[in-house]
Structure 1
């Protein structure tokens, strides 16, 4: 007799559709991907696709959003941690975790040759919104310096993602620790918890924060 089916072994249709999007984007240009391609790759029917998504761009947005937000690192109490030690631990975790490397591989597709301006804009928007949220900033009341630093961080993220296919085989923890601010910004964004991001952000603006407290 065949082994009874276990639903837990089968990914939900929405997850299979998003995975299919990434598989297809690795194989061909975004403009050449169709809904038919996606449902065939995901092994679902068209009704299932349209139950979850209005069209292909909505699927792409959902896949990008989840890749940006997805992290397997558990929350860490940073009260008694040395920031530099925690920085090294997080970088090591990023490079050694297969799920995180897959996440980088997928995001790199959005910055790669098969992408489109629309996909890049989506990645920028989700990256920016995630960073603002995790830093507990008010998106409607950003001062110029914070606004510029967020744009700079997202720009650094894209710059590294464009080079990720050639970097992934050779990049080391030391590279992440010693490269310029754009690389560090990318690493912070991809690997640090909210608490650590706040800590490093404060270190960037340490003098400003100190001066603001003094004026208060």
Structure 2
């Protein structure tokens, strides 16, 4: 059999990956051993080491694979139009994000709620930030900027992360479409107007 077409290596990797997330339901990442992974996946240790250096390499590869999938799901294509974003346009972007999380729920539930490695959230947030930077680069003019760009990015992404965690922790009580619509309204209208305060274009004296 041609090694390139041999499905067995992929099946072994998939079983090891599946076993890792099964074990994470019962044990902290620090307590999981290669022997536990190999035994649970029904492979020998030499098979495990043929694919991964150790359990940390296994986790790193899983995270990288999912971050590539995330980028593909939410990537902004082409030139961002100059007009102000509408709720509908922003909602379409966020719907792709929530659907992606929904499709890979076990991974994100484990990583965001159980947190086997502390660096994941930083990696996740950095991936989201790159898309926002594309929008900022196309539209932000220094003379009209009202807040620090890096602080604004952290504020927006931090709130988005909190919303995702709450959604997963509560077993996704709302659809991806509803979550996307609500988040887009928060982004487009801003905090003050979303709360219900009157929209004022300038401060009153």
Q: TM-score when scaled to structure 2?
A: 0.58
Inter-partner Cα distance in structure 2 for 1:86 and 1:78: 14
Matches within 5 A, 1:161-176: 161-163=164-166, 164-171=168-175, 173-176=177-180
Instruction: State the partner residue of 2:112.
Output: 111
Instruction: State the partner residue of 1:54.
Output: 53
Inter-partner Cα distance in structure 1 for 2:101 and 2:55: 25
In structure 2, do the counterparts of structure 1 residues 127 and 174 end up closer, same or farther at CA, with 3 Å as the change threshold? same
Residue of structure 2 aligned with 1:151, choices 149, 154, 164: 154
Residue of structure 2 aligned with 1:127, choices 124, 137, 158: 124
Inter-partner Cα distance in structure 2 for 1:26 and 1:157: 25
Post-superposition CA distance 1:71-93 (Å, at most 9, x none):
4649756778x854344344455
Structure 1, unmatched stretches of 5+, are 1-5, 139-143, 185-216
Post-superposition CA distance 1:6-55 (Å, at most 9, x none):
84587353344333322322343323322122223333321222233222
* Number of residue equivalences: 167
Runs of 4+ in 1 over 4 A off after TM superposition: 6-10, 74-80, 90-95
Larger Rg, first or second structure (1 or 2): 2
Structure 2, unmatched stretches of 5+, are 138-146, 188-205
* Greater RCO structure (CA 8 Å; 6+ sep): 2
